[in-house]
Amino acid sequence: MALKNPYRPYLGTLVGIKDLATNIKLFQVELNDPQEREAFTYRPGQFAFVSAFGVGEAPFSITSSPSRSQVLEFAINRVGTVTSALHRMSEGDVVGIRGPFGNGFPLEEMEGKNIVILGGGIGGAPLRPIIHTVIDNRSKYGKLTILWAARNPSLLIFTDEFDEWRAAPDTELHLTVDRADETWTGNVGLITELLEKVAPSPENAVSITCGPPIMIKFTMLTLKKLGFAPEQMIMTLEAKMKCGIGKCGRCNLGDKFICTDGPVFNYAEVSEFLESF
Amino acid sequence: MKVSTKDDLMAWLDRLAERYTLIAPKDVEGHILYRPVAGSEEIAFDFTKAALSPKEHFLPSTQVILSIERKGEGIELKEPSLERERIIFGIRPCDAKALRVLDALFLEEPIDPYYAERREKTTLIGLACREMGDECFCTSLGGAPDDASDVDLMLTEVEGGYAVQVVTEKGKAIVGDLPLKEVEGSPPKPIVHEEKVPIPELDAWPQHFNDEYWARLADRCLSCRLCTYVCPTCRCFDVRDYPSSDDAIERLRAWDSCLAEGYRRIAGGYNPRPTKMQRLRNRFYCKFYYYPKDFGPVACVGCGRCIINCPVNIDIVEVLRDVATL
Amino acid sequence: MIDQIRAKARELLESGQVSCVIGYEEGTRGRVRPAFIYKPEDVDRLVWNERCIHNLVVYLRQFARPLKRGEEPPRVAILVKPCDSRSLNVLLQEKQVERERVYVIGLACEGMRVDGQLQERCQRCEDRIPLVYDLLVGEKPQTVGHEDYADVEELERMSPRERLDFWLRELDRCILCYACRQACPACYCSECVAEQLDPLWMGIAIDLPRKWFFHTMRAYHLAGRCAGCNACEQVCPMDIPLSLIYRKLVKEVETLFSYKAGLDAETPSPLATFEKGEELPL
């Protein structure tokens, strides 16, 4: 077929599979074709479809940072048929990659501002490349406040990076779990409670939230209470998707498609949507 | 006007059937459906509208979009292609207009290659309607029972045969060996409904999104998928892989419907449109607000198939009239 | 009859005994459609005539949950024809509907007509008044039909090859719209086998093997439960004679177990029970 086919995935090999948390693995994919590898440029906040051939494909946010990683990284939670098939794979297996899709985070507008990151569970996956970008270009951004949460300690992701994040200049990391286990000595409570305790200033700040829909909704309310304006509150959303290019009609919120107009939106935009996520 | 006799027309179609895949209206157990025919004698001429539009020949209800083969350690991908050029004979103006509506989405970057190939390799021979059906309202949406703008050749029934109008170069390319006689006059005008259906403007829709009207309308909706499947402009699809043999897999694309309960449900269980009301409302808003806002044309051509088939009489004309007065 | 229906509906709504009356109203283009009356002043929308073809029992499931959070599920009134009342009995027997939450207005019925012609299922109908009701409206008609399974037996007389060809021809134009399933009161699974991905039974393809699987699978799931209301065949956009499949299994269950679904709200389906000492008719 002469036309470039947006439904045709690139072939990639799993060069690394790491356990991140209970039922969550980090998949490292290297595209097989060197030209495709060269051409695959992406920004933090974009996503790609990963194919488990024989079952299907699903969209996952790209959790690697383009500046730090040569391979594409995806943090994948095992919940359904595609993710289960991926979890059954081993290093060396071939997967399909389609992308990158989506708008990504507005990094230029964030420069010079204080960044507040709020990650709930697997929602931390698209936020990790932002954290890396800020740390690697520290002088371009203001204070970095990271609130990282999970239902219990075994579901916290990227725990091996916490020390690096804490050690970065003008950076704070606050952790919380809904329910502790025997070894947990940190904060216990919802991320919204932690947010009220930490109370980051909305002055010259921008917040970026990702997590389950209910977490995003309550976090928005708390941020509003703390004085954040809707334009300052950024979120990244997810939906069931089948094409990633705005054709299959599935992921719309009103007249906006999460795959092409998003997945990154700010609260002011989302409040205008006819439908709620 | 240029007129062909029915016999000449049939012979010409038989000749075309040798070089092209000829798809035409066919009587299938009492239902008119657009199916490949071997010859002109299989074609049904006496019908208002086919039960399903020819949309299924551009966006098939099930199609293979990728062949995936395991070769040793690796995987080989193949993209299927249409083998033969096709002619769709007897397409009605509303169904042809519906293809234009779908073009606005599928031929916009990034182009859908499977749809694009089918559009490119198909010549449309339109057949004008003698009169609008009871449920038809094409004239309210800028169409007409004899609108030739979306076909390559337009045929209209006249005394002694069919008037033939060449619309595009594609049509011109196949009509050369059809004997045509120059006859005085023009094809008869079709019988149209006097009253038009008010189509609310784009800006009129958002304010009614949270009206209780939609909940009351959805009370009787069964959440079946009938309306979306018979509709010539609905296009939502699902994609999944299935093994076709020990080493081969097919990636299939199949029709899906925004009315299905699980349409938006993600693997973890969350569903942003859990109620019938939200899903039914989404269908109307998609057709008259989202689609035109995002892609241009209103996603309805007034064919009335949803009206004919909805088991609980959710009547799109009634809904449009209601929204205009809400 | 209609005055009695409207009066009762008004009384039930005004007294607060029910939150909604599910009945019939005039729609567009000479069709009747299901009506949901929430306010007493709207009861005059209700109609009752020979075009009231729908089985309204299918709507009881949307009232099984509270209308507002924190409240109890609503009590509703429903109009049932004799065929619909048998579906209702099946749901009552399967504990899908609480009897106390439903006020049943039973309608004596002489049959439904389409374009003036008595529907085939009404010609076969052996019940002329509902088998369960709180209020019976209308006189029991003198005429009664008879289910002799003549059309099912015609199929049975075909050779297996002929029968297969018949069904392949009929199912070919099925579009897997699931209208038959959605209209059926007995199909209330929260996730249908046809749509399950894990385990994967059917998949998304709309092709003959899957159409075959869906209809035979659904027929088996309805064996011993199908009340013969014919809603499935009525809603099919392609006029596929679905009742032949379901009534075949109804006939089998009747022959083997002397059981017909929906005659009362207590007797369970023989396919769902096994009594100690039960003798199998094999």
- Residues 77-136 in C contacting A (C-alpha not used; CB under 8 Å): none
Sign of CA dihedral C262, C267, C268, C269: negative
A161 DSSP assignment: G
Residue contact C197–A80, C-beta within 8 A: yes
Provide the pLDDT confidence category of residue B301 given band limits of 50, 70 and 90.
very high
Instruction: Give CA separation, A182 vs A148, A156, B249, C150, C192, in Å.
Output: 20, 15, 47, 72, 42
Asked whether A176 and A186 are in contact (CB, 8 A), the reply is yes
Residue (of B142, B227, B252, B125) closest to B178 by Cα position: B125
Beta bridge partners of residue A133, listed in sequence order:
none
Residue (of C179, C186, C205, C54) closest to B225 by Cα position: C179
Q: What local confidence, expressed as pLDDT, does residue C146 receive? A: 87
Instruction: Give CA separation, B216 vs A230, B219, B278, C17, in Å.
Output: 34, 5, 12, 21
Burial category of B15 from C-beta neighbours within 10 Å (exposed 0-12, middle 13-18, buried 19 and up) = middle
The pLDDT > 70 percentage for chain C reads 99
For chain A, say whether C200 makes contact (Cβ under 8 Å): yes
Residue contact C239–B135, C-beta within 8 A: no
Residues A112 and A231 placed together within one structural domain of the fold: yes
Q: Specify the residue for token string 């077929």.
A: A1
Instruction: Give CA separation, C181 vs A91, B245, B252, C168, in Å.
Output: 44, 31, 24, 20
Beta bridge partners of residue C197, listed in sequence order:
C200
How many other C-beta atoms can be found within 10 angstroms of the C-beta atom of residue A254?
A: 19
Distance from CA of B262 to the nearest CA of C (A): 9
State the count of interchain CB pairs (< 8 A) between A and B.
126
- Residues 41-70 in A contacting B (C-alpha not used; CB under 8 Å): 51-58
Task: Write the residue in C31, C54, C178 that is nearest to B224 by C-beta.
Answer: C178
Q: What local confidence, expressed as pLDDT, does residue B62 receive? A: 96
Rounded to 5 degrees, what are φ and ψ at C247?
-70, -25
Strands A24-31 and A72-77 turn out to be: antiparallel
Biggest CA–CA distance in chain B, Å, is: 71
Check whether A227 has a pLDDT greater than 80: yes
Q: Is residue A259 part of a domain?
A: no
Structure tokens at C107: 């309608």
B140 DSSP assignment: G
pLDDT in tens, C154-164: 999 999 999 99
CA distance A101 to A98: 8
ipTM of this predicted structure: 0.93
Say how many Å lie between the first and final Cα of chain B, rounded.
47
Residues A142 and A93 placed together within one structural domain of the fold: no
Asked whether C12 and C21 are in contact (CB, 8 A), the reply is yes
pLDDT in tens, A145-189: 999 999 999 999 999 999 999 999 999 999 999 999 999 999 999
Residue (of B305, B232, B222, B276) closest to C235 by Cα position: B222
For chain C, counts of helices (H) and of strands (E): 9, 7
CA distance C70 to C72: 7
Average pLDDT over residues A97-105: 95
Among chain C residues, CA nearest to B56: C175
Residues A152 and A68 placed together within one structural domain of the fold: no
CA distance C152 to C228: 13
Residue (of A252, A80, B265, B280) closest to C191 by Cα position: B265
Number of domains within chain A: 2
CA distance C4 to C8: 6
Indicate the average pLDDT of chain A: 95
Residue contact A1–B237, C-beta within 8 A: no
Distance from CA of C204 to the nearest CA of A (A): 12
Q: Which chains neighbour B (Cβ–Cβ under 8 Å, 3 or more pairs)?
A: A, C
Residue contact C200–A81, C-beta within 8 A: yes
Q: Is residue A196 part of a domain?
A: yes
pLDDT in tens, C132-157: 999 999 999 888 888 889 999 999 99
Check whether A1 has a pLDDT greater than 70: no
pLDDT in tens, C204-232: 999 999 999 999 999 999 999 999 999 99
Residues A126 and A232 placed together within one structural domain of the fold: yes
Structure tokens at A228: 């954040």
What residue ranges do the domains of chain C occupy? 2-137, 150-272
Asked whether B120 and B283 are in contact (CB, 8 A), the reply is no
- Residues 76-135 in A contacting C (C-alpha not used; CB under 8 Å): 80-81, 84
The pLDDT > 70 percentage for chain B reads 100
Side-chain-side CA neighbours of residue A230 (13 Å): 8
Asked whether A30 and A205 are in contact (CB, 8 A), the reply is no
CA distance B311 to A75: 45
Asked which of A42, A68, A101 is the last residue of a domain, the reply is A101
Q: Is residue A272 part of a domain?
A: no
Q: According to the 3-state scheme, what is the secondary structure of B116-175? A: HHHHHCEEEEEECCCECCCCCCHHHHCCCCCCCCCCCEEEEEECCEEEEEECCHHHHHHH
Indicate the average pLDDT of chain C: 92
State the count of interchain CB pairs (< 8 A) between A and C.
6
Provide the pLDDT confidence category of residue A49 given band limits of 50, 70 and 90.
very high
Distance from CA of B107 to the nearest CA of A (A): 10
The pLDDT > 90 percentage for chain B reads 94
Find the angle CA(C166)-CA(C171)-CA(C174) to the nearest 5 degrees.
155
Q: Where are the alpha helices (DSSP H) in chain A?
A: 34-39, 81-87, 107-110, 128-136, 162-167, 191-198, 213-225, 267-272
Number of domains within chain B: 1
A91 DSSP assignment: T
Residue contact A84–C198, C-beta within 8 A: yes
Strands B181-182 and B237-243 turn out to be: unpaired
Residues A73 and A162 placed together within one structural domain of the fold: no
Asked whether A165 and A173 are in contact (CB, 8 A), the reply is yes
Q: According to the 3-state scheme, what is the secondary structure of A194-242? A: HHHHHCCCCCCEEEEEECCHHHHHHHHHHHHHCCCCHHHEEEECCCCCC
CA distance B203 to B54: 32
Structural domain span for residue A148: 107-236
Residues A62 and A125 placed together within one structural domain of the fold: no
Check whether C85 has a pLDDT greater than 90: yes
Q: Specify the residue for token string 């134009």.
A: C173
Distance from CA of B257 to the nearest CA of C (A): 9
Rounded to 5 degrees, what are φ and ψ at B130?
-75, -40
pLDDT in tens, B70-121: 888 789 999 999 889 999 999 999 999 999 999 999 999 999 999 999 999 9
Residues A120 and A223 placed together within one structural domain of the fold: yes
Secondary structure of residue C83 in the 3-state scheme: helix
Type of residue found at A24: I
Q: What local confidence, expressed as pLDDT, does residue C282 receive? A: 66
Average pLDDT over residues C7-35: 96
Residues A119 and A223 placed together within one structural domain of the fold: yes
Kindly report the CATH number assigned to the domain that includes residue A30: 2.40.30.10
Structure tokens at A272: 């205008």
Residue contact B318–C28, C-beta within 8 A: yes
Asked whether B167 and B150 are in contact (CB, 8 A), the reply is no
Structural domain span for residue B228: 2-263+271-325
A4 DSSP assignment: -
Instruction: Give CA separation, B33 vs A72, B25, B309, in Å.
Output: 48, 5, 15
Q: What local confidence, expressed as pLDDT, does residue C278 receive? A: 79
Q: What local confidence, expressed as pLDDT, does residue A3 receive? A: 61
Q: Is residue A135 part of a domain?
A: yes
Residue (of C78, C63, C206) closest to C133 by Cα position: C78
Q: Where are the alpha helices (DSSP H) in B134-275?
A: 169-175, 213-218, 226-230
Instruction: Give CA separation, A13 vs A7, A255, C86, in Å.
Output: 19, 37, 59
pTM: predicted TM-score of the whole model, two decimal places: 0.95
Side-chain-side CA neighbours of residue A208 (13 Å): 28
Task: Write the residue in A56, A247, A250 that is nearest to B263 by C-beta.
Answer: A250
Residues A15 and A91 placed together within one structural domain of the fold: yes
